[in-house]
Amino acid sequence: MSEFSEWFHNILEEAEIIDTRYPIKGMHVWQPQGFKIRKYALKLLRELLDEDHEEVLFPLLIPEDELAKEAIHVKGFEEEVYWVTHGGLNQLNKKLALRPTSETAMYPMFNLWVRSHSDLPMKFYQIVNTFRYETKHTRPLIRVREITTFKEAHTIHSDSKGAQKQVERAIEIYSNFFDQLGIPYVVTRRPDWDKFPGADYTMAFDTLLPDGKTLQIGTVHNLGQTFAHTFDITYETPEGEHEHVYQTCYGLSDRMIASIIGIHGDSSGLSLPPSVAPYQVVIVPVLFKKGAKEVLDFCSQLKDKLEKGGIRVHHDDRDIRAGKKYYEWEMRGVPLRLEIGPRDIENNKMVALRRDTLEKETLDYSEETVINDLNNILAEITKNLKINAWNKFQDNIRPANTLEEARDILTNDKGIISFSWCGDESCGKEIEEFVRVDILGVFEESTDGTCIKCGAPSKTIALLAKTY
Amino acid sequence: MSEFSEWFHNILEEAEIIDTRYPIKGMHVWQPQGFKIRKYALKLLRELLDEDHEEVLFPLLIPEDELAKEAIHVKGFEEEVYWVTHGGLNQLNKKLALRPTSETAMYPMFNLWVRSHSDLPMKFYQIVNTFRYETKHTRPLIRVREITTFKEAHTIHSDSKGAQKQVERAIEIYSNFFDQLGIPYVVTRRPDWDKFPGADYTMAFDTLLPDGKTLQIGTVHNLGQTFAHTFDITYETPEGEHEHVYQTCYGLSDRMIASIIGIHGDSSGLSLPPSVAPYQVVIVPVLFKKGAKEVLDFCSQLKDKLEKGGIRVHHDDRDIRAGKKYYEWEMRGVPLRLEIGPRDIENNKMVALRRDTLEKETLDYSEETVINDLNNILAEITKNLKINAWNKFQDNIRPANTLEEARDILTNDKGIISFSWCGDESCGKEIEEFVRVDILGVFEESTDGTCIKCGAPSKTIALLAKTY
């Protein structure tokens, strides 16, 4: 197990995020602390999507014949689909699949829902559990058999341009989401041999975990008309013709939580962006024999005040050593800790420890401005987490001019390699074989260089990395 | 199909609550309008539970051996459990059940989580989908094979009294929840032959749908120590002894939405309590050639103002006949409709139609008080829906002194019969057989009468009804 892997497993356990002892491999329990982080992350996501998407909820089970309708699609999933074959003591007439993703659950209904050009575009999303019978090594939140948090959006458009624009819009939404969480990413166009089964093309978000491996944290697919033909989804044009629709879909998973934990965490444990922290502020009273009651009263009133001001706050008045409290709240990633003793109250001061920097400073306390002051610090923490994460991320994207150089960098420094590529699949596969990692995809079009493999004029800058 | 059944199916379709055309019997699609009602209902429920419960999320799948551990429990469910037998093309070594309920998913973990008396009580809940292979006739939201909205709470206590008190507390929480939705109910103690498999006893909430049949909308189970013994869930007492815990669990389902729809609806369609209405207020501009722009501007500004004031509001400025709009918003159950024309603006008036009474009145419009004024009307609507529903409900609970009388009432008037019962199972079963409906349960202890069957001094007042 790598050092990061060990850290990750330990912090999931110690901070009570996920219990991995559930008696099925790759299926885990969200504990209360983890559930709250997940809840606040989904709140941010819903705020972004609700602007122009409708939330829906489709059944978990998909009849075998619907799943099989789109041949390319089912081929991509057939080895990892769980099958329900029995109801009670009876064998079912038709096997039912646990959704691996919901195209084949939704699109037979879209066939019924879409009527006229005036219905379009339609944009739906749902947040559900999906299932993959993973045969590889499983890891909590990263490679699991029950994806407990699968946000999948599905959109329907009257023309190709509408679908193309929606791909751009989805990238914008996801960028905004990850920016709010301070998670750095690259967006690439996946090689054709690595696109979503049934898509025209796939755009993907990758971030980098501390062990130097990239993690795919979001995908956006332009489905073109493939599924529209398979499920005969048509609309009536203003001229009375019937045309097939164009579609996109895009998804996020539990990995959004894995990346929050893995990217911002450090040797003291979690370090949570305020937007998803179960507690944004913890108040620790500093007690001496004299004045203890005054301090506890002050802290308790401060807690009420902050809560009314919309800050998620906890007053830790347990009768245990302060050091134990400090250790625990740092480990749990509370962004801001306030320590308040009798002298502080006298002098209108508070001692604040920022979890992102682990530095202490003494703040002025004013009843009128305290909520605003703390919100400003929380905003600074958010900003600082993001800057640090992006700096580390960008330091780990390195150009390589030869395959040997790429291989050396990946051996010594890990991270992401950028290189010039002619774009041909045969070169791509040989590059992957030589450096023994995957091409993430095309980062941008560029005719400046020559292909790292064949030396022909290159068309693109692409990225290589060891992936999760 | 009964008249109510037909009405219910039609309104689900016309108001776009649930699409029942999904290609698996008993599994349905939540459409955007239905999803919103569900979302707001769950928001009320979470507010009540979050006071002293922690939300968690357990896996969907339960290994066969865990499900089978508690013999009475598995016997109650074995005929309706869906089984996953294959992953990809491989047969699984161990069959996996789709949870019919989560005792056997959670309690092996509670075995690990509970350590000391100081951990107790613990109170958890989750909102998930569960599955029952129903062989009876299915009905959307009422009898389904995928229960998409199963709120199940599970609590752990150090003594019997703690569990007993939690049963009372759960009844209080559910009463509060249904009161907010204006859904009337009776709470009874289910007969022993009808309790939850594995429980010491079961308390249940029943409401009455317009066809005179009762619908079980919530249950609260005192599990005693049955599961604690099966899953060996123990805690260390202050004296260092290891004792088995006491447990309760309690649940609500999609039926909460069925009862909102069925109980408040009328021949014009839905009539939604403001707390769960996707739109609480709809503004319909009344347009003439002259002054149309002013009216539209006014309505649009009013919409913004109400939205900022926390009211869910829609401005229906479509260029269609007002009558069509009125029909549609009444059918969709929007609690309050405002009609605003040029004369109204001049005179600082608005015409308001309350969905609950379908009566129009002219309101004074004042920029300063409009939000408050409308919130007051919305509160009145909530109150009135509840009063009407309870009146109808109570009119349909009738006492019977003889079995023949009970049978006649159930034939002519339907509804609920109250009767004196000695409490013996043999009498109970004979009563059920004679009147051909079920005993809901014991409503209250009472030694006033004599048993309707055997004539012995009775111990209880119990209820009889034709049930869903």
Residue B295 counted as domain residue: yes
Instruction: Flag if A29 and B85 touch (Cβ within 8 Å).
Output: no
Size of interface A-B (CB pairs under 8 A): 141
The partner residue sitting opposite A146, judged by closest CB among B61, B80, B85, is: B61
Contact predicate B38/B149, CB 8 Å:
yes
DSSP B315: E
Instruction: Name residue B467's beta-bridge partners.
Output: B214
Q: Specify the number of domains making up chain A.
A: 3
Domain co-membership, B420 together with B299: no
Residues of chain A neighbouring B104 (CB-CB closer than 8 A):
none
Instruction: Flag if A29 and B88 touch (Cβ within 8 Å).
Output: no
Distance from CA of B157 to the nearest CA of A (A): 18
Residue A388 counted as domain residue: no
Instruction: Flag if A88 and B108 touch (Cβ within 8 Å).
Output: no
pLDDT tens figures, B217-245: 999 999 999 999 999 999 999 999 999 99
Burial class for A433, CB neighbours closer than 10 Å (0-12, 13-18, 19+): exposed
Distance from CA of B114 to the nearest CA of A (A): 13
Instruction: Flag if A24 and B63 touch (Cβ within 8 Å).
Output: yes
Q: What is the CATH number of the domain that holds A435?
A: 3.30.110.30
Instruction: Flag if A83 and B86 touch (Cβ within 8 Å).
Output: yes
* Residue in A closest to B79 by C-alpha: A88
Residue B272 counted as domain residue: no
A286 touches chain B (CB under 8 A): no
A359 touches chain B (CB under 8 A): no
Closest CA to B224 of B164, B266, B265: B164
Residue A390 counted as domain residue: no
Which tokens belong to A100?
Answer: 């691996």
Residues of chain B neighbouring A32 (CB-CB closer than 8 A):
54-56, 124
Q: How far is it, in rounded angstroms, from Cα A55 to Cα B253? A: 19
Residues of chain B neighbouring A24 (CB-CB closer than 8 A):
59, 61, 63, 96
Asked if pLDDT for residue B246 goes beyond 80, the answer is yes
Asked if pLDDT for residue B272 goes beyond 80, the answer is yes
C-alpha distances out from residue B220 to A112, B50, B190, Å: 40, 18, 10
ipTM (interface pTM): 0.96
Domain co-membership, B245 together with B108: yes
Instruction: Output the pLDDT for position B71.
Output: 84
Q: What is the CATH number of the domain that holds B334?
A: 3.40.50.800
The partner residue sitting opposite A83, judged by closest CB among B55, B58, B85, is: B85
A54 touches chain B (CB under 8 A): yes
The partner residue sitting opposite B31, judged by closest CB among A56, A66, A105, is: A56
Q: Which domain holds residue A344?
A: 279-379
The partner residue sitting opposite B21, judged by closest CB among A28, A60, A112, is: A112
Residue A51 counted as domain residue: yes
Helices B425-435, B403-412: inter-axial angle, 10-degree rounding: 40
Instruction: Flag if A59 and B83 touch (Cβ within 8 Å).
Output: no
* Coil, strand or helix at A104: helix
Backbone region of residue B46 per phi and psi (left: phi > 0; alpha: psi in -120 to 50; beta: other values): alpha
Residues of chain B neighbouring A80 (CB-CB closer than 8 A):
87-88
Domain co-membership, B330 together with B436: no
A86 touches chain B (CB under 8 A): yes
C-alpha distances out from residue A269 to A35, A217, A266, A320, Å: 18, 22, 5, 21
Burial class for A455, CB neighbours closer than 10 Å (0-12, 13-18, 19+): exposed
Burial code (b: 16+ CB inside 10 Å, e: under 16) for A104-129 equals: bbbbbbbbebbeebeebbbbbbbbbb
Task: Give percent of chain A above pLDDT 70.
Answer: 100
- Name residues 100-139 of chain A within 8 A of B (Cβ): 105, 108-109, 112, 124, 129, 133, 135
Instruction: Output the pLDDT for position A1.
Output: 62
Tell which of A328, A347, A379 closes a domain.
Answer: A379
Residues of chain A neighbouring B84 (CB-CB closer than 8 A):
82-85, 98
Which residues have C-beta within 8 Å of that of residue A164, sequence separation ≥ 6? Answer: A222
Instruction: Flag if B88 and A66 touch (Cβ within 8 Å).
Output: no
B59 touches chain A (CB under 8 A): yes
Q: What are the two backbone dihedrals, phi and then psi, of residue B343, each rounded to the nearest 5 degrees? A: -65, -40
The amino acid present at B82, given as its one-letter code, is Y
Region B314-341: mean pLDDT is 96
Q: How far is it, in rounded angstroms, from Cα B179 to Cα A345? A: 45
Domain co-membership, A145 together with A229: yes
Contact predicate A219/A152, CB 8 Å:
no
Domain co-membership, B59 together with B204: yes
Q: How far is it, in rounded angstroms, from Cα A399 to Cα A464? A: 10
Distance from CA of A116 to the nearest CA of B (A): 17
The partner residue sitting opposite B35, judged by closest CB among A36, A56, A78, is: A56
The partner residue sitting opposite A24, judged by closest CB among B21, B61, B129, is: B61
Domain co-membership, A100 together with A166: yes
Domain co-membership, A117 together with A69: yes
DSSP A230: H
Q: What is the CATH number of the domain that holds A29?
A: 3.30.930.10
Closest CA to A31 of A327, A284, A278: A278
Backbone region of residue A232 per phi and psi (left: phi > 0; alpha: psi in -120 to 50; beta: other values): left
Residues of chain A neighbouring B129 (CB-CB closer than 8 A):
60
Region B345-370: mean pLDDT is 96
- Opening angle at CA B416, ends B414 and B421, nearest 5: 130
Residues of chain A neighbouring B39 (CB-CB closer than 8 A):
55
Strands (E), B304-378: 313-315, 336-340, 349-354, 359-364
Averages of pLDDT over runs of 10 residues in chain A (468 residues) are 91 98 97 98 98 98 94 86 95 96 97 97 98 93 97 98 98 98 98 94 98 97 97 97 98 98 98 98 94 95 97 97 96 98 95 97 95 98 98 97 95 92 95 96 92 94 96
Contact predicate A390/A422, CB 8 Å:
no
- The verdict on whether omega for the bond into residue B121 sits within 30 degrees of 0, i.e. cis, is yes
Residues of chain A neighbouring B111 (CB-CB closer than 8 A):
none
Q: Which residue has the tokens 């009808």?
A: B194
Contact predicate B340/B295, CB 8 Å:
yes
Instruction: Flag if B22 and A79 touch (Cβ within 8 Å).
Output: no
Domain co-membership, B217 together with B297: no
Q: How far is it, in rounded angstroms, from Cα A409 to Cα A465? A: 10
C-alpha distances out from residue B70 to A88, A207, A441, B199, Å: 17, 45, 52, 11
Instruction: Flag if A82 and B87 touch (Cβ within 8 Å).
Output: yes
Q: How far is it, in rounded angstroms, from Cα B381 to Cα B375? A: 10
Domain co-membership, A406 together with A374: no
Q: How far is it, in rounded angstroms, from Cα A410 to Cα B48? A: 53
Does B463 or A135 have the greater pLDDT score?
B463
Asked if pLDDT for residue B113 goes beyond 80, the answer is yes
Residues of chain A neighbouring B59 (CB-CB closer than 8 A):
22, 24, 27-29, 146, 148
Residue A429 counted as domain residue: yes
Residue B424 counted as domain residue: yes
Among B13, B22, B37, pick the best mutation site for testing chain A contact (most A Cβ within 10 A).
B22
Contact predicate A360/A234, CB 8 Å:
no
Residue B384 counted as domain residue: no
DSSP-H helix ranges across B214-365: 226-230, 255-264, 292-308, 322-331, 342-346
- Name residues 5-34 of chain A within 8 A of B (Cβ): 19, 21-24, 27-32
Asked if pLDDT for residue B421 goes beyond 90, the answer is yes
Tell which of A379, A409, A443 closes a domain.
Answer: A379
Instruction: Output the pLDDT for position B465.
Output: 97
Distance from CA of B31 to the nearest CA of A (A): 5
Length of chain B: 468
A47 touches chain B (CB under 8 A): no
Q: How far is it, in rounded angstroms, from Cα A408 to Cα A435? A: 9
Domain co-membership, B255 together with B293: no
Which tokens belong to B458?
Answer: 């009775």
- Name residues 170-229 of chain B within 8 A of A (Cβ): none
Does B92 or B77 have the greater pLDDT score?
B92
Residues of chain B neighbouring A109 (CB-CB closer than 8 A):
19, 21-22, 29
Instruction: Flag if A80 and B87 touch (Cβ within 8 Å).
Output: yes
Residues of chain A neighbouring B88 (CB-CB closer than 8 A):
78-81, 133, 135
B146 touches chain A (CB under 8 A): yes
Instruction: Flag if A87 and B80 touch (Cβ within 8 Å).
Output: yes
Contact predicate B66/B230, CB 8 Å:
no
Instruction: Output the pLDDT for position B1.
Output: 62
Query: What distance lies between CA B427 and its chain's CA centroid?
Result: 31
A270: how many CB neighbours lie within 10 A of its CB? 24
Domain co-membership, B193 together with B295: no
Instruction: Flag if B135 and A88 touch (Cβ within 8 Å).
Output: yes
Domain co-membership, B12 together with B143: yes
DSSP B109: H
- Opening angle at CA B360, ends B359 and B366, nearest 5: 135
Tell which of A203, A230, A264 closes a domain.
Answer: A264
Pairing of β B90-98 and β B82-87: antiparallel
Instruction: Output the pLDDT for position A439.
Output: 97
Question: Confidence band (pLDDT; 50, 70, 90) for B312?
Answer: very high
A53: how many CB neighbours lie within 10 A of its CB? 19
Task: Give percent of chain B above pLDDT 70.
Answer: 100
Asked if pLDDT for residue B443 goes beyond 80, the answer is yes
